[in-house]
A = this chain, B = another copy of it.
């Protein structure tokens, strides 16, 4: 299948931005980087975009847009609770993308 190339490309594009890579790393080990949340579990539900915005030196619209890119690449999923939105890494998608990349570079 030739679909591998385009999904690998999306993965690389999404992570080629330093801020997005940083955010993804943070939410992969959320308890190391974020305070406990009232209305959603850091691991089960994901990290509230508000906390990400507070931690990274960027405006809220910019963070929203970065999260949309990560979601479009399938690397994170989002869930709304009340008026908060939580982002959680999709670990199996990340693994699959890593495998595609590795296979493409036949390392």
Contact = CB atoms under 8 A, between A and B. Distances in A.
B12 A104 contact: no
How many copies of this chain does one complex carry?
Answer: 2
A contact residues, range = 20 to 34
Given A12-B12, A12-B15, A94 B105 contact: yes
Contacts of A76: none
B12 A106 contact: no
Interface string A40-77: 00000000000000000000000000000000000000
Given A91-B107, A98-B102, A105-B98, A18 B25 contact: no
Interface of A: 5, 8-9, 12-13, 15-16, 18, 21-22, 24-25, 28-29, 91, 94-95, 98, 101-102, 104-107
